[in-house]
A and B are shown apart, each in its own frame.
Chain A
Amino acid sequence: MRMRSRTTVSWVAVLSAFLAVAASAAPAGAQAKPIRIGEINSYSGLATVYTFPYREGIAMATKEINDAGGVLGRPLEFIFRDDKLKPDEAVKAARELVGQEKVDFLAGCISSGVGLAISAYAKEAKTLYFATHCQTSRLTWDDGHRYVAHTTNNVNQYIRALAKKAAATPYKKWAHISPDYEYGHNVWEEFIAYLKQLKPDVQVVQQNWPKLGETDHSSYVTALLQSGAEAMLSVVWGAQEIAFIKQARPFGLFDKVKLFSASVGNPDELDPLGKEAPLGAVTPGFAWYDDGMQKRHPKLAEWVKKYEARVKKEPTLGASWGYASTYIIAEAIKRAKSSDTDKVIAVLGEGYEMEFPWGKVIMRGCDMQAIPPQWTGVLKTNAQGKPVLGDIEESHGKDLIKSCDEVAKLRAAAGEKKK
């Protein structure tokens, strides 16, 4: 007994010494109560290729904001949780963040399914949720409500930019390969609907719906070769699109069928593809390295330099989204002059605009949806022989996105369906 009590005493001593050190180590300036944001995203497994740079973007913006005195004199603090790409894990984390951590807001999501699940929880818990990385248009449209804001691009905008470019080409017979889940269907349907609207004589000659994460695409390649299509849209992404392209190239698919892709222009695909990149493919992407981009956006080069100095890696679209989302959230709180949920929602409902190193982002009031610039380009090799996005065409989401009236109709229709 004596032994045990002595050990307990020494443990208490060690613990209190530790706490004393920890308390004295806290910076003197951080006495104001921080504004806490619970951030739920996929920080293990296959999505980390996107979420790690995204988290760096958040960290960079948070540091800038806090170094400049924080928001309303209070530091901004993100509390990160891993959702393991699963909606139920995400909701569990959201519940813990709101219930135990007492966060002021929720943020996060890379998977559309996860985003919709957190959004449903936010509505029920009356906690404002900023969807920051997933892209389904349903978030703020069909399934929109007053407790969800979307701080990044949605599918509708960037895929319309791509469809507009497709409409300017002579191709009439189209096929596609899209992963068989929420995002895949969302992208293909938005693309073909807008393309047909711009060019009524377009026809779909063949469709491919592999499962998400399929690794063997040779049969789809054969089917596409036989389809008689002149052009195709690839909606598969990340590792799956790399596999698809590597398997399709030796069959000469892209010599026969012009490739349009929703995501091949991102570095997470272009870098590993290297000399196997499908040059000539038309695709959206964040080409910060492009001369024209840097000329149009004089502050972009400096931002890239700052990011690279911090992270020791080139930035990605995800990094820019983490960065922008943090500022968009901070701006809403600043305008509301409070971290009170209802006041921040009121500010978001009025809408506002912000300038970023890559252009203007509009936070639209009617659906609390971000409207950023859109870029579409063509895959080329640069002087070092590396595949890059070239011939960048810049447009703005505001000239492409569905109007507030159309959104109201979508919400009404979705409401009807639920009844």
Chain B
Amino acid sequence: MDFVTGLFPWITNGPLITVQVMSGLSVGMLLFLVSVGMSLIFGVTRIVNLAHGSFYMVGAYLMVTLVEVLPAQEWAFWAALLLAPFGVAALGGIIEIGLLRLIYRRDPLMQLILTFGLILVIGTLVLLAWGPDNKSVSRPDALAGSVRILGQPFPSYYLLVLGLAPVVAVTLWLIFYRTRWGMLIRAATVDREMLGALGVNVARLYTQVFMFGSWLAGLGGALAAPTVAVALGMDGDVLTTAFVVVVIGGLGSFAGTFISALLVGLLQSFGILIFPAVSIVLLFAIMAVVLIVRPWGLLGRPEE
């Protein structure tokens, strides 16, 4: 035990560990919002949307603009947080109808090339629309400071993230398992052809799902905006991590994505404390292990 406490002096520090767990969970929750949209889109349309990080970035940039143009009141932040994701959903809708519809039946490689191209196009459009400067969104005054948790300071904005993401998760679950639309989505992930044969308008369902996935990415971006710099390049960072989350959780699995997002959040949080030198590799090492042991992910289904 002495050896352990000598190596990790924080291990007996209960309050510190609590705070560390909470910030890891906050990061995981944000990751969940982005990843679940990506996973959902893949599950239904079988498209690996590489532009998902770009949607996240657009969500953050829309947040910046909305906070700027709305009157400088406390409610402006909340209004922006509500509106920004819908802007991204609209963008997703345009892309799905205008581009993706044309290539559903093509080679998956074509789809990858298209969504990869979208990264470059959206990146350039964001540069043209918002300019090269870094942007930032201030936290609302009520959440600007910190609260004490077991005597340790903890950013109060993270409490919002910790609270909001589970609400979204539960709502998602209710949609998937308690509504007709959710049933159609689940059916589509199992057998799209059969669903079409049964008279369901699959094309419309795809558009709806793609918009909904985009909305989630936009929400993730808008919610993350106050904790980071809104800048060009934030699309690539989040894409890599979200991709890892989706792969670990199992492509198309809702619960798997939730578990794996929290896992990855905690892993990043503690990885740095325990193995600072290899914390970067850790994430990919875990992904590799999962892929070896369960190639279809934690809660995914093996391909038939």
- Interface of A toward B, CB cutoff 8 Å: 44-46, 48-49, 51-52, 180, 207-211, 213-216, 218-220, 222-223, 226, 238-240, 242-243, 246-247, 250-252, 268-269, 271-276
Bound CA–CA A219/B265 (angstroms): 11
Which residue of chain B is the closest to A252 with respect to CB atoms?
Answer: B153
Q: Are A215 and B138 in contact (CB under 8 A)?
A: no
Q: Is B132 an interface residue (CB 8 A)?
A: yes
A250 and B157 in contact (CB under 8 A), knowing A49-B134, A49-B231? Answer: yes
**From A48, A180, A247, A275, contact of B138 by CB (8 A):** A275
Which residue of chain A is the closest to B145 with respect to CB atoms?
Answer: A250
For B124, list chain A residues within 8 Å (CB).
44
A272 and B135 in contact (CB under 8 A), knowing A46-B232, A218-B27, A239-B229? Answer: yes
Which residue of chain B is the closest to A245 with respect to CB atoms?
Answer: B229
Q: Are B136 and A219 in contact (CB under 8 A)?
A: no
Q: Is B123 an interface residue (CB 8 A)?
A: yes
**What are the 6 closest A-B residue pairs judged by CB atoms, nearest first?**
A46-B233, A250-B155, A48-B132, A242-B229, A272-B136, A239-B231
Q: Is B238 an interface residue (CB 8 A)?
A: yes
For A240, list chain B residues within 8 Å (CB).
229
Q: Are B228 and A215 in contact (CB under 8 A)?
A: yes
Bound CA–CA A208/B279 (angstroms): 11
Q: Are A238 and B153 in contact (CB under 8 A)?
A: no
Which residue of chain B is the closest to A206 with respect to CB atoms?
Answer: B276
**From A52, A207, A210, A243, contact of B227 by CB (8 A):** A243
Bound CA–CA A180/B276 (angstroms): 12
Bound CA–CA A213/B136 (angstroms): 16
Q: Are B238 and A269 in contact (CB under 8 A)?
A: no
A243 and B9 in contact (CB under 8 A), knowing A49-B132, A218-B23? Answer: no
For B280, list chain A residues within 8 Å (CB).
180, 211
**From A48, A215, A219, A272, contact of B272 by CB (8 A):** A219
Q: Are B10 and A247 in contact (CB under 8 A)?
A: no
A223 and B228 in contact (CB under 8 A), knowing A211-B280, A272-B136? Answer: no
Bound CA–CA A387/B132 (angstroms): 20
Which residue of chain B is the closest to A248 with respect to CB atoms?
Answer: B155
Q: Is B234 an interface residue (CB 8 A)?
A: yes
- Interface of B toward A, CB cutoff 8 Å: 9-10, 13, 16, 19-20, 23-24, 26-27, 123-124, 127, 132-136, 138, 144-146, 153-157, 226-234, 236-238, 268-273, 276-277, 279-280
For A250, list chain B residues within 8 Å (CB).
144-146, 153-157
27 contacts between A and B (CB under 8 A): A44-B127, A45-B232, A45-B233, A49-B133, A215-B228, A215-B237, A218-B20, A219-B23, A219-B268, A219-B269, A219-B271, A222-B16, A222-B19, A222-B20, A222-B23, A222-B273, A223-B276, A238-B231, A239-B134, A239-B233, A239-B234, A240-B229, A246-B136, A247-B227, A251-B154, A252-B146, A271-B134
Given contacts A219-B24, A226-B13, A250-B154, 17 further A-B contacts (CB under 8 A): A209-B277, A214-B237, A218-B20, A218-B23, A219-B23, A219-B268, A219-B279, A222-B23, A222-B273, A239-B231, A240-B229, A242-B231, A246-B229, A250-B144, A268-B134, A271-B134, A272-B134
For B238, list chain A residues within 8 Å (CB).
215
For B268, list chain A residues within 8 Å (CB).
216, 219
Q: Are B227 and A213 in contact (CB under 8 A)?
A: no
For A223, list chain B residues within 8 Å (CB).
272-273, 276
Q: Are B231 and A46 in contact (CB under 8 A)?
A: yes
Which residue of chain B is the closest to A220 with respect to CB atoms?
Answer: B272
For A208, list chain B residues within 8 Å (CB).
272, 276
A251 and B153 in contact (CB under 8 A), knowing A268-B134, A274-B138? Answer: yes
Task: Quote the shortest CB–CB distance from B12 to chain A (angstroms).
Answer: 12
Which of A218, A222, A226, A246 gathers most chain B CB within 10 Å?
A: A218
